[in-house]
Each structure stands twice: as C-alpha cells, then as structure tokens.
Amino acid sequence: MNIQGASEKTGLPAKTIRYYEDIGLIQPDRAANGYRHFSTRDLHNLTFLARARALGFTIEDCRALLGLYEDESRASAEVKTIAQKHLQAIEEKIRDLQTMRETLSDLVTSCHGDNRPDCPILSDLGGSSRD
C-alpha cells in the first residue's frame, strides 16, 4: 500500500507518516522506484502510534511503547511505568488548568465590564494589585 492508502487507512496525514519514518518510528519497505510500501504491520504500527499520540504520549514514549508492543518477552511493568508517568503529568496539567480557571474566573467576576478605564484583569496581568 502506498502512503496515500496508509494515510486513508490510519487517519494520519501523509506528512505525519513521513515524519514518523524520518525519526525512525516506522520503516516501510521501498520499491525499486523509491516509493514507500506499507505492510499490514506498518499500518498496525501507525494506528498504534495515532492512538498513543491521541492519548498525549510523547514521541519518545511512543517509541518506547511501540518497542515494548513489538517485544513479546516484555514485562508489562515497563508499560505500566510509562503510562503511570504520563497519567501523573496529565493530572498535574489538570490541577494547573483548574488553578488558571479559578484565577481567571475571579478576575472576570471582579471586572465591572463597563466604560471605566480601570480593569482588574489588566491590572493583574500587569502585575499590579487588583482594584
């Protein structure tokens, strides 16, 4: 299957597939004319990578997970460690976003939103105390 077919089958843009090849995540065969040929295994790996990236795993995490996926003698503890580390990072981002939301909500509430020039939102962003 060519890159266009692989793109349609996996839902990944051809540019992403080329990038994954450039960084060594996938290694499709090449025909004599230089065109890529994607095997069923390549398509499966691309689908795996698409799902892992959709879950927010980094490229390096994807590389490790794909290596573990292909290693039938793997220890699931290694996979769990990568996933737990990623889950902790997501939970930290959620906490940060909740803090940002609370701060912005307070600022929006404290702003009169009228024709006056004083604005607690701008004052806070500028590092001044709120009015």
CATH number of domain containing 34: 1.10.1660.10
The parent domain of residue 62 ranges over 1-72
* Same-domain pairing of 20 and 64: yes
* Same-domain pairing of 80 and 64: no
Rounded to whole angstroms, the Cα distance separating 46 from 38 reads: 10
> Look-up: residue for tokens 């701008």?
122
Q: How many Cβ atoms sit within 10 Å of the Cβ of residue 57? A: 20
Which of 50 and 115 is assigned the larger pLDDT?
A: 50
Per-residue model confidence as pLDDT tens digits over 85-113: 999 999 999 999 999 999 999 999 999 88
* Same-domain pairing of 45 and 106: no
Model confidence, pTM: 0.80
* Same-domain pairing of 54 and 114: no
Task: Give the model's confidence band at 131: pLDDT under 50 very low, under 70 low, under 90 confident, else very high.
Answer: very low
* Same-domain pairing of 1 and 62: yes
Per-residue model confidence as pLDDT tens digits over 11-52: 999 999 999 999 999 999 999 998 999 999 999 999 999 999
Rounded to whole angstroms, the Cα distance separating 92 from 86 reads: 10
* Same-domain pairing of 107 and 60: no
* Same-domain pairing of 56 and 86: no
Q: What is the DSSP letter of 25?
A: S
* Same-domain pairing of 79 and 65: no
* Same-domain pairing of 120 and 59: no
Structural domains counted in the chain: 2
* Same-domain pairing of 19 and 68: yes
In angstroms, how far is the first alpha carbon of the chain from the final one?
Answer: 64
Q: How many Cβ atoms sit within 10 Å of the Cβ of residue 20? A: 24
